[in-house]
Amino acid sequence: MAPRMSLQTKLVDILNSNNVYFQPPPEFKMSYPCIVYHFAKFESDSADNLPYVIDNKYEITVIDSNPDSGIPKKIAQLPGCSNDRTFKTSNLNHFVFTIIF
């Protein structure tokens, strides 16, 4: 299975819902709570000025009306994941993470 599809499966399992969206267009109508994620960049390790490991880095955003949602803590437990920021807009709480996957 491709790495992104493996990540998609993990996120669906964590959310226990199919409201997991990869790079949705701006006009796309989402159902909440949801997880939105997109490709952020390549993350590489180098030796002798040559990359020897190249991984994908994704930005994951949990969007939920509940500020005490347990979903962000489940995302934070994924290996290679870190919490970047949180914010509230349009009465929805956004929990933003990056993950190397």
Residue labelled with tokens 């960049």 = 41
Domain segments of the chain as ranges: 3-100
- Distance in Å from the first CA to the final CA of the chain: 13
Residue labelled with tokens 């009306």 = 65
Q: What is the pTM of this model?
A: 0.90
pLDDT tens digits for range 57-92: 999 999 999 999 999 999 999 999 999 999 999 999
pLDDT tens digits for range 28-48: 999 999 999 999 999 888 888
Judge whether 10 and 22 are in contact, CB under 8 Å. no
CATH topology of domain 3-100: STM4215-like (3.30.2000)
